[in-house]
A and B are shown apart, each in its own frame.
Chain A
Amino acid sequence: GAVVSQHPSWVICKSGTSVKIECRSLDFQATTMFWYRQFPKQSLMLMATSNEGSKATYEQGVEKDKFLINHASLTLSTLTVTSAHPEDSSFYICSARMDSSSPLHFGNGTRLTVT
């Protein structure tokens, strides 16, 4: 149980275009989802917290207009990287949990390369 599906697993896009990444909780309802970013050989850095039906909460230094997050339902959150630039190239991982006392379950991540 507690499976989180993230799609796509990897994507290459041209500079200036937008890319959407989906995160789905397959067998549970996730009131809260989280988006992380991981650079090579580094730890995961929280970008934003996504709550179903409300605006996402962004961490300091994360541009909300560049990284659009939509938590449309209890099983789906999307991250859209708008006007992507090469420095946005990274590994993006979503996670979800059922409630505040549950552990986080992670998607398999998306490797984004902006050329």
Chain B
Amino acid sequence: AQTVTQSQPEMSVQEAETVTLSCTYDTSESNYYLFWYKQPPSRQMILVIRQEAYKQQNATENRFSVNFQKAAKSFSLKISDSQLGDTAMYFCARYSGGGADGLTFGKGTHLIIQP
């Protein structure tokens, strides 16, 4: 099975600090997509950032950026200037474009931002 691994079940940082969530994945595909989703207590799944595997440049969305290491199959999420509203579950996910398969999710990291 092609898996997505998040090795940090829970992380806690102070407000305004920078935090990095790790994710590694396994795939035999050459073209695929990687995502980070945020799930707050409301349980709504919110897309944070996406990365196409064929793009070498790391994706950035405001305070959120990724470190995509294709050879190492690593896809970490960095949150800068963390805010209380960033407290949530964060899921790393992968799917291979061109097919009808759904996302494969990691087990998630519970991020807590302390005031």
Cα-based distance from A43 to B47 in the complex (angstroms): 15
Contacts of A45 in B (CB 8 A): 105
Please give me the residue from chain B that is nearest to A101 by CB atom. Answer: B97
Q: Is the CB of B102 within 8 A of A103?
A: no
B103 CB–A CB distance under 8 Å: yes
Cα-based distance from A45 to B4 in the complex (angstroms): 12
Stretch at the interface among A19-27, A72-80, A81-89, A104-112: A104-112
**Nearest chain B CB to A57's CB is how many angstroms away?**
7
Cα-based distance from A10 to B44 in the complex (angstroms): 13
**Nearest chain B CB to A6's CB is how many angstroms away?**
10
How many chain A residues touch B (CB < 8 A): the figure is: 23
Q: Is the CB of B99 within 8 A of A100?
A: yes
Q: Is the CB of B35 within 8 A of A100?
A: no
A28 CB–B CB distance under 8 Å: no
Q: Is the CB of B45 within 8 A of A93?
A: yes
Q: Is the CB of B107 within 8 A of A109?
A: no
Given A49-B102, A109-B45, 13 other A-B contacts at CB below 8 A?
Answer: A43-B105, A44-B91, A44-B105, A57-B100, A95-B45, A100-B98, A103-B47, A104-B35, A104-B47, A105-B47, A106-B45, A108-B44, A109-B44
Residue numbers of B with Cβ under 8 A of A are 33, 35, 37, 42-45, 47, 50, 91, 95, 97-108
9 A-B contacts, Cβ less than 8 Å apart? Answer: A44-B45, A46-B102, A51-B100, A93-B45, A95-B103, A100-B98, A105-B47, A106-B44, A109-B44
